[in-house]
Amino acid sequence: MKIVQMIKKLNNTELGKGGTHDTYVLVPNDLDISDVFDTPGAVIDFVDKQRGNHVGLRNTVGREKRIVGLGQYYRENDLSAGDEIVFERVESGDNIRYFITIQKYDESLVVQKSKYGFEILTPERLAYFNEICQNAGALVEINFVTAEKKRNDSPEETNFYDILVNGTSLLSSCGGKEIKELYLSGRNLRVTSFYGWKKYAYEMED
């Protein structure tokens, strides 16, 4: 049995929470996805491992490489930035099956640095994250700084925050526009870089 898995950590733009409201997965030009999506434009029937329903997906090739057909699937699973989607191809003899699954990270917070402070890309999880920190006795503070328009033509203002650990701001340790994922390990805050794709290929006995 041959298995190929491609894992994508989703961002708000792909989830339709950006300005265009398009829903998709962006594929880097240097990433080969042909061992799962072998024919550009062809619809592939994926089975959701968690729910058992079918999801028809296809990859498009143009100015950008995208996997499309995910809008309803995103909405049904209430996904946020930092959650992962897994595309899987399983080949056993002449039998080929395709699976899709998700991994949600409800207890993490995704933030992006800007000149005003940190924008929280998962504001729907802020209250719960604060509750987790408080219950764990973690010395983490998320303080509102200002509300500003990110661009002159932005329709509304965005809230920006500072994040302090043991009284020390994280702003100086992050580069400009860098995206970070925050989660607790015991009472300690872990800060990790926001990756895009992971790909695995392996064989198992049938």
What's the 3-state SS for the chain?
CEEEEEEEECCCCCCCCCCCCCCCEEECCCCCCCCCCCCCCCCEEEEECCCCCEEEEEEEECCCEEEECCHHHHHHHCCCCCCEEEEEEEEECCEEEEEEEEECCCCCEEEEEECCEEEECCHHHHHHHHHHHHHHCCCEEEEEEEEECCCCCCCCCEEEEEEEECCEECHHHCCCCCEEEEEEECCEEEEEECCCEEEEEEECCC
Residue 156 is predicted with a pLDDT of: 87
pLDDT digits (tens, 9 = 90+) for 135-179: 999 999 999 999 998 888 878 899 999 999 999 999 998 888 889
Q: Where are the domains of the chain?
A: 2-104, 109-193
Residue 176 is predicted with a pLDDT of: 83
Choose between 63 and 180: higher pLDDT: 180
Choose between 182 and 177: higher pLDDT: 182
pLDDT digits (tens, 9 = 90+) for 32-66: 999 999 999 999 999 999 999 999 999 998 889 99
Homologous superfamily (CATH) of 2-104 is: DNA-binding pseudobarrel domain (2.40.330.10)
Is the pLDDT at 113 greater than 80, yes or no? Answer: yes
